[in-house]
Every structure is written in C-alpha cells, then in structure tokens.
Amino acid sequence: MAFLLGRDLKFYCKLETINTPAANYGTPSQPRYVADSNAARVVSSSMEFTVARENRNDARATRSALGRITGKQEVSWSVESYMCPKSGAVPNIAPMLECAMGSVATTTYSLATELNTFQMARLSEDVMREEVFGCWVDEMTVSASGGDPVTISFSGGACEYALTGTATTDATSSGKGLTVASGGTNFMPGSLIAIADVTATDGTVVAGSTSATDVRLATSRSYATSKAVTPHTPDGTYTTHGDPITGISGTLSLDSETTLNVTSFDVTVSNGVKPLSDEFAKKGTSDFIEGFRDVTGTVTVRATSDALTKFQKRYQLARPALGNPTTDTVGPAPTFQTLALTITLGNVSGAKQIITLPAIELGFAGIEIPEAEEATIAIPFTALATASNNEMTFEWNAS
C-alpha cells in the first residue's frame, strides 16, 4: 500500500487557449503537461469537487428518504506559493498570474478587461492525480510581514475536475474498453493514466467508467492482463526555479516616502467573476463573465510622526470661516487625495518584483495603542485607475 504524502506532491499548471475553457476535456486531444516547462512548486493547494444532491420531497407513505435528485456540479480551488524569482525567466506560476491580471508583456503583468483560463494538476506518483480544467482566478493576494517569506496566493473556480487512482488490468484487450479487477470508479472522465505495458509517453485519457470493473478509454490501447494502471506522470524533468524572497529585502514607497516603519502589507486583486452555472442541459459551469474589479490592500506601520502625516492625507475638510461662510471656496464636504504606492520585493537586480499602484485612496481604520508599547496603524486602501485597466502593474524580474 502506498501512502499519499504531501511532501511527495508534484504540481503543474498550464495556460489554456483563450475563450475556450476546458477545451478537449476527456478527449484524445486533451492538453498534456511537460514537466520541464509546466512544473511549479507550491506551499499548499486545494481542489474541491461537489455535486448537489437533495432528497425527493414528493408525497410518500413514510418519513424515510427514498430517493435523491442530482443538481449542478461545482469546482473550486486555491493555491499558495512563495515568491520565487529567477533572472530572465517567467515565474513557474506564470499561468495563474497571467489569468489573475489578464495581460503580460515579457515579464510585466498588467490588468486587462478579458481574462484567460488555465488548467492545473497535482500528482503523487503511483497513488493519485487530481486535475482541474477551465480554471479562472477570482482572487490573487500578495502578502509579506517582517522576516517571513513573501507569499502569493490564488483562488477561483473551474469548469471540470478529474480524480485518478490506481487499478490492475483483469483482461487482455486492444480496444477502448479497459477491464480492471476492481476500482474502475477510480478513474473519472479526464483522468490521464499509464498502463504498465503500453508505450505512450503522453498517457491515455479516460472517457469515463461504467462500473467497478469497466473503464472507457478515449483512445484504443493494447494491453495484457495483470498490468498496473496508475496516474500518468508528465514526461521530462520536474524542475522549478528561484529562491523565496523574504520580508527583509525590498522597499515600500507611499507617496514617495520610503522610510516608513512597515511591519506588513497585502495587496488583493478581486476579479468579481460570475460563473455561468445555471444553463439548461449543462452539468456544471461552462464559462464565466468578468465582473467589476477591485484592487485593495492594507499597509501596517508603526505610528510615527511621518506615518501620521501620510495617514492624515486620507481626508481633508474645509469649514466656512466663522461668521463669514461666503469666504469658504471648498465647502463643508470632505475631499480625498490619492497617493502612489510602489512595493519592491527583493534587492537583486533582474530578480525583483515591483507592484505599482499609481493612485490609491486611503481608507479608515483605528490606531492600535497598546498599554505600554508602540502604536501601529493599519492603513487600508483601494486602488483607482487613472485610465482603463492601469490601477496596478506587476513587474517580475525587474532591475
């Protein structure tokens, strides 16, 4: 018996063809991964698959549930990774970053109106392969604090899901039928398998299973009996690149001030995605629509005179002159000023990440004053665009 160990997991991600989520899922032309170019190293990941089932509520002569009704399937996922740059190369999480932002030129990611999709898989060799197709990024967060590693996390939904287990062939065949001793239900549509005596470096796609002993393949294969059926491992060498950046290197500039005593920060891009999961004759989500985007975050600083100066720029209010209100030219309504925020992660030329938000509006939060120690200010902000899609850029591998 082989155990599924987190330390053994390999992770892969790959862009899909734009405007075609989950293209060719469950067919012979289902996209494959190449370990050399599609491998990534992540801290944690989750892939959730559910199918709605509810009890029948029509009249019956018993209080017992006698049947259930099948509803829509739902697929969600999340990934967290260290920030791992390497000079001259795109990050190994590039598909997720591009699908969160929308556009990339060389290694600079910019916001765009239309978002692409990607697929990803996690693999424990000879034990399990889990894969999601037609993935969109609903939310991306970059966060750092003190000397901790800088992390970037993603979450969203997907159109399709496949879980692949193991089995043993129970017959000799040369067609699309795969007979196994047991465990046929270990292979969902879209599973990519390896049969021990089949020479196919790109694996074999499963079209579905009909019972515990019968599996339907998308491509005809010839195999003998008593052969191992396992999750397919992408061809090539599993390599990832870059060393994690920590919070001890880099700078944060708020309104051109770079000497603030910053203890932590986070920046979140929320894409407001609406999944199209209510269509007739579809088992789940077929596509999605991009909604209004929000770019928000928080900078936490120790309370100093310089920090308070920046903090106060969030709000300005002019009162009429006493006894002579006609001299006031601004009026009693408050006004709000936008500031520029630039975050540089790392200090090695050619391997820095620079997040630029040209116009942020500071929000409101209390000043935390402990009994005896220094006070801190958590400054929330919202990024605004000065032109279409320019409220944030993310430059990877900057000098």
What does DSSP say about strands 352-362 and 287-289: parallel, antiparallel, or unpaired?
unpaired
Residues 6+ apart with CB under 8 A from 273: 115, 136, 137, 138, 156, 157, 288, 289, 290, 291
Q: From first to last of the 399 residues of the chain, give the pLDDT tens digit.
A: 677 777 789 999 999 998 899 999 999 999 999 998 899 989 999 999 999 999 999 998 899 999 999 999 999 999 999 998 877 778 889 999 999 999 999 999 999 999 999 999 999 998 999 999 999 999 999 999 888 999 999 999 999 999 999 999 998 888 999 999 998 999 999 999 999 999 888 999 999 998 999 999 999 999 999 999 999 999 888 876 778 898 888 999 988 888 888 889 999 999 999 999 999 989 999 999 999 999 999 998 887 766 666 666 666 656 555 555 555 555 566 778 899 999 999 988 888 999 999 999 988 777 777 666 677 888 899 999 999 999 999 999 888
Using left for φ > 0, alpha for ψ between -120 and 50, and beta otherwise, residue 345 falls in beta
**In one letter, which amino acid is 2?**
A
Model pTM score: 0.91
Distance in angstroms (rounded) separating the CA atoms of residues 17 and 139: 21
192 close to 206: Cβ distance less than 8 angstroms: yes
Q: Map out the domains of the chain with their CATH numbers.
A: 6-51+66-231 (no CATH), 250-398 (2.40.30)
Residues in the chain: 399
Q: Max alpha carbon distance in the chain (Å)?
A: 100
